[in-house]
Chain A
Amino acid sequence: MTDRADPVTLPRPDDPNGPAAAKRAVSPGEQIARIIDGPRLALAAIQIGPGLMLVAVVIVVSSLSPVFLTPRNVGNVLSQSAVIAVLALAQLLVIITRGIDLSVGSTLALSAVVGAIVFASVPSGPLVIVAMLATGTVVGTINGLVYVYGRLPHPFIVTLATLSIARGLALWLSGGQPLQGMPQIVQDLGGGSLGWFPFSAFLVAGLALLGLLLTKRMVWGRWIYAVGGNPDGARRAAIPVRGVVVSVYVLSGLAAGIGAIITSGRLNGGSPTFGELAELDTIAAVVIGGASFLGGRGTIGNALIGALMIGVIRNGMNLLNVDAFLQPIVIGAVIVLAVELDVVRGHLERRLRILQAARS
């Protein structure tokens, strides 16, 4: 009864006044005006901007370093970007809802330490994996529930608190020491590869496909965008806003658990120092990918591109023997550039709206 999916009064598709009729009503002059539409073109360029930026960076780095595009190094880049990519996929969903999750790096460390402790007493691969995923999910759920039901003004606060709490717990549980040892399956997931192609990159690809399914085809994904675009409107449209918001923090925590599996697998152990500043890298990746802090915008593909961009820049500077201290400066500059592109996009959109109003 409540689930009325289709409009009651929609005409059939073969209606003579249907969409086809509307298409015909455009005058040739209008069509030309549309094609030479400067702002629209610029807007389209900015929308594929992150991809173009990545291609440009790859071209520059590979022309400066012959090693860069060798399979072994590409495998390195993918493996080094995997954790940021996984976290960025979830951070993207959070940012689309106008939120932010600062706790992912600490949650990753806590999950890894819990995994190492479980492994020390019960050396079972599946159990360790479940423990790490569950730890991340619990922290994410706490973030979501406290933010939504504690009616906090912004998720910055609660995730800042869990950033501190999760790191503290990781230090306390581990005694501040790295804990050695991970089951073989975790080591494979984090450090193994098929030829030069790392398993962790397969994992990222699989998660990205799930993310695409969620954001492009699932009702829930549409709700995430709707909540980010207009939370109040979403409530009035009978979208379960609270559930949607909690869910993205749960996913972000789960992603931290997956990140813990990759990191602790690669390094064969769990350390309370894992994932330090990872939250900033993931936010940078998402922003470089063109998502907006105002919510409602951003795509899975571009978030991955953002994560890869950070990986490529780091790797490229290592290959070119750029002083390690300069790396954060370059990353920072890229972030500013990406955000500035977002500002220009907003400006172009306003101009387009004015043009459109003048034309109608």
Chain B
Amino acid sequence: MTAGLHSPALSVTGATKRFGAVLALDNVDLSVDHGQVLALLGDNGAGKSTLIQCLSGVHRLDSGTIEMDGRPVDIFSPADARSLGIETVYQDLALFDNLDPAANFYAGRESAGPRWLPRGLRLTHHARMPEATGSVLSRLQVGIPDPRASVGLMSGGQRQAIAVARAAAFASQVVILDEPTAALGLRESRRVLDLIRRLRDEGRAVLVISHAMDHVIEIADKAVVLRRGRKVGEEVPHADNRQRIVSLIVGGDG
């Protein structure tokens, strides 16, 4: 129990992942606390996406350990990550354009019964899910003109907000966001940054990939820089060390 007091919400030690001959991750360590925003920085191909895919169960680490609140955990599938309270907002959002927000929220974790039936044969609680989805959206102040419309009919900002809200609703521990503002306009980016702050204030550990240094300086408590699969630095992002972080990203050796 002594370890529990100061254990970070999520810590990764010695993360290594190979794709054939390519060493995508090479012995990477990082940790993030509850109520903390960690930015994962790096140029294209630095290993950021591979790392978060290993944390969300899409890929599996070749070696290295993942601990949550000091306890080692195994993440072998998206279902594992979900049941540990880790939710991911992918860059492509992974939304179902043909379905409404509630169906998007609950895809793969439908609220349904009776429990003695195999999961696929259960009947959905079709009133409960839209209701719960509506309250999450309003708690996070996501305005959706028509909550019954399919997500494909919504604007880029609304879609992004729905994807973030979905992660927020189900992530009891860790929220991972892959370039959450890359495709958005100024105003929509603001809203997503506000959402991230709210998640942090609610005590989630937030891991965010971003190329927008201004946003990183604004919201991140800590930044880990990757280059060619290796961790090359860890900084507290600030207007003063912006140049240093950028040079870590692009690589001083040219």
A360 interfacial by beta-carbon distance below 8 Å: yes
Contact with A along B95-127 (1 / 0, CB 8 A): 111110001010111111000000111111010
Q: Which residues of B contact A (CB under 8 A)?
A: 56, 58, 77-80, 82-83, 85, 88, 90, 92, 94-99, 103, 105, 107-112, 119-124, 126, 131-132, 134-139, 143-147, 152-158, 168-170, 172, 202
CB-based contact B97/A296 at 8 Å: yes
CB-based contact B136/A238 at 8 Å: no
> Among A21, A222, A230, A359, which residue has its beta carbon within 8 angstroms of that of B95?
A230
> Among A30, A223, A296, A360, which residue has its beta carbon within 8 angstroms of that of B120?
A223
Name the interface residues of A1-55: CB closer than 8 Å to any CB of B. Answer: 1-11, 13, 15, 17-19, 21-22, 25-26, 30, 34
List the A side residues contacting B168 at CB < 8 Å: 9
User: Shortest Cβ distance from A323 into chain B, in angstroms?
Assistant: 41
Decide yes or no: A226 and B107 within 8 Å by CB, A9-B172, A9-B202, A360-B157 being known contacts: yes
A-B contact pairs, 26 of them (CB 8 A): A5-B110, A6-B132, A7-B132, A8-B85, A9-B169, A9-B202, A10-B169, A11-B135, A11-B136, A18-B138, A19-B138, A22-B138, A218-B120, A218-B121, A219-B120, A219-B121, A220-B120, A223-B120, A225-B96, A226-B108, A230-B96, A232-B92, A233-B92, A237-B94, A237-B109, A357-B155
Decide yes or no: A17 and B82 within 8 Å by CB, A219-B124, A230-B94 being known contacts: no
> CA of A7 to CA of B130 in the docked complex: distance in angstroms?
12
Look across to chain A and name the residue whose beta carbon is closest to the beta carbon of B204: A9
CB-based contact A22/B157 at 8 Å: no
A236 interfacial by beta-carbon distance below 8 Å: yes
Decide yes or no: A357 and B172 within 8 Å by CB, A218-B123, A233-B95, A238-B108 being known contacts: no
> CA of A218 to CA of B132 in the docked complex: distance in angstroms?
19
User: Shortest Cβ distance from A35 into chain B, in angstroms?
Assistant: 12
> CA of A239 to CA of B79 in the docked complex: distance in angstroms?
9
Decide yes or no: A297 and B98 within 8 Å by CB, A22-B143, A238-B78 being known contacts: yes
Seed contacts A237-B108, A238-B109; 9 additional CB < 8 Å A-B pairs: A7-B136, A9-B169, A17-B138, A218-B120, A235-B78, A243-B120, A353-B155, A356-B158, A360-B158
List the A side residues contacting B119 at CB < 8 Å: 3, 219
CB-based contact A218/B122 at 8 Å: yes
> Among B78, B103, B155, B169, which residue has its beta carbon within 8 angstroms of that of A222?
B103
> CA of A355 to CA of B210 in the docked complex: distance in angstroms?
29
Q: Which of A15, A237, A353, A359 has the most CB of B within 10 A?
A: A237
Look across to chain B and name the residue whose beta carbon is closest to the beta carbon of A348: B153
Look across to chain A and name the residue whose beta carbon is closest to the beta carbon of B115: A3
Look across to chain A and name the residue whose beta carbon is closest to the beta carbon of B202: A9
List the B side residues contacting A297 at CB < 8 Å: 98
A134 interfacial by beta-carbon distance below 8 Å: no
List the B side residues contacting A9 at CB < 8 Å: 136, 168-169, 172, 202
CB-based contact A222/B135 at 8 Å: no
CB-based contact B108/A239 at 8 Å: yes
List the A side residues contacting B172 at CB < 8 Å: 8-9
Look across to chain B and name the residue whose beta carbon is closest to the beta carbon of A227: B96
CB-based contact B155/A356 at 8 Å: yes
CB-based contact A1/B99 at 8 Å: no
CB-based contact A7/B169 at 8 Å: yes
> CA of A5 to CA of B111 in the docked complex: distance in angstroms?
5
List the B side residues contacting A353 at CB < 8 Å: 152-155
List the A side residues contacting B170 at CB < 8 Å: 4, 7-8
Look across to chain B and name the residue whose beta carbon is closest to the beta carbon of A43: B153
Contact with B along A203-217 (1 / 0, CB 8 A): 000000000000011
Decide yes or no: A22 and B202 within 8 Å by CB, A226-B96, A236-B56 being known contacts: no
> CA of A359 to CA of B119 in the docked complex: distance in angstroms?
40
